[in-house]
Amino acid sequence: MDPRPQIQEFLVSRRAKISPQSVGLPVAGRKRRVPGLRREEVAALAGLSVDYYIRLERGALTNASDSVLNAIARALQLDATEQAHLIDLARAGKPSAAPARSRRTPPAAMAPQLQTILDALVGVPALVRSPTLDIVAANLLARALYSPVYTDTDTAPNLARFTFLNPDASRFWRDWDRVADDLTAHLRTAAGATPYDRALTDLVGELSTRSDAFRQLWARHDVRAYGRGTKHFHHPVVGELDLRYDLLQPAAEPGLTMITYTAEPGTASHDNLSLLASWAASQGSTAPDRASSTRHVTPPTRQE
C-alpha cells in the first residue's frame, strides 16, 4: 500500500471530524463546502504555513520533523493511537522503509512453547492471532469457541474473512457491528505499521472487493488499539456467551497477539463456558472440523 494516498485520506478524514466551533474558530462568512476543518484552519492551529500543510496533507510527510507531526496531531486532536498511526505513515514514506518493513518474521515461525502455554490454560479459551487476523494457534477450548470460524476456510482461519464474508458471522457475533469496526480499525493500524506486508495488502484487497461493509469501514480510516474488553458470542452448541478478553503481546514473538477469554463466575456465560469445555472434550481434537454439524450435536447436559 502506497503510504502517500493513505496519508492524505487519513488527514482529510480526521479534520472532517472536527467542527470549527469545537476549536474556537469563527463560522461566519462564506458557506462551508466540506465538513469539519478546512486545510488553512488546520495549518493555523498547527502553526504552519498553508502551502506547507497542503504539501504535507498530499503525502509529503517523509521529511516532517517530530515537532511538526506533533503540531498536526494536536491541531487534529488525535488520540495516542491515531498519532502513532500518523508517525507510522510518515516513516513508511521514507525511501529505506520498504525493504525494512518487508523483513517481518512470518507468524508461522511461532515457537512451540507458546502452544504449550495455550494448552496449559485449562478452562480458558486462548489463541494466538497474527497481524492479519489469522488464528495461528489455539487450545482446544478456543478451537471449540471459534468452531464456526474454523469451518469457514481450508487454510488458516481468519477472523476478518469470517466476519465480513461468512453470512453466519452476524449470528455468531451478537455485536457484529462493533466487531467489524474493531477488526477494520486493527487492520488499518497494521497497514500503517507494515504498509509493505504482502499478506496484509492481499487481505485488504480481497475484503474491499468482496464486502461492501468492509469497504465502507475501511474508507473511514479509523485506527484503534485495545487491550481488553468483552465479546458477545452466540455459539451454535451452547448459546450465548459474554466473555472478557485480554490481549497479550509475547516479547519473544513480535507481531503476534495472545488472547484469553474468561467468564464472570456465577453467570450464565460461566455455565455455558463449562458446557462448551465438556462438548470440546467429547469432540476431542476434531472439534473444529466437525463444527459444520454442530446444529445436529446434542449439547452436554446442564447440571442443575
Q: Burial level of 184, CB count in 10 A (0-12/13-18/19+)?
A: buried
Per-residue model confidence (pLDDT) at position 154: 67
Separation between Cα atoms, residue 194 and residue 108, nearest integer Å? 17
Per-residue model confidence (pLDDT) at position 297: 41
Following DSSP, what letter does each residue of 188-244 receive, concatenated? HHHHHH-TT-HHHHHHHHHHHHH-HHHHHHHTTT-----SEEEEEEEETTTEEEEEE
- Domains of the chain, CATH where assigned: 3-101 (1.10.260.40), 107-296 (3.30.450.180)
Query: What is the Cβ-side half-sphere exposure of residue 40, based on CA atoms within 13 angstroms?
Result: 2
Separation between Cα atoms, residue 292 and residue 33, nearest integer Å? 52
Per-residue model confidence (pLDDT) at position 254: 81
Separation between Cα atoms, residue 153 and residue 63, nearest integer Å? 43
Which residues, given as ranges, of the chain have pLDDT below 50? 99-108, 286, 289-299, 303-304
> For the whole model, what pTM was predicted?
0.85
Q: Which three cell numbers stand for residue 106?
A: 512470518
The residues, ordered by sequence, that sit 6+ positions from 210 with a Cβ below 8 Å of its Cβ are: 164, 165
Separation between Cα atoms, residue 190 and residue 201, nearest integer Å? 10
Per-residue model confidence (pLDDT) at position 251: 82
63 closest CA partner among 40, 38, 89, 94: 94
Separation between Cα atoms, residue 196 and residue 93, nearest integer Å? 11
Per-residue model confidence (pLDDT) at position 212: 97
Per-residue model confidence (pLDDT) at position 188: 95
Per-residue model confidence (pLDDT) at position 104: 46
Per-residue model confidence (pLDDT) at position 288: 52
25 closest CA partner among 8, 39, 7, 45: 45
Per-residue pLDDT tens digits for 252-271 = 888 899 999 999 999 999 99
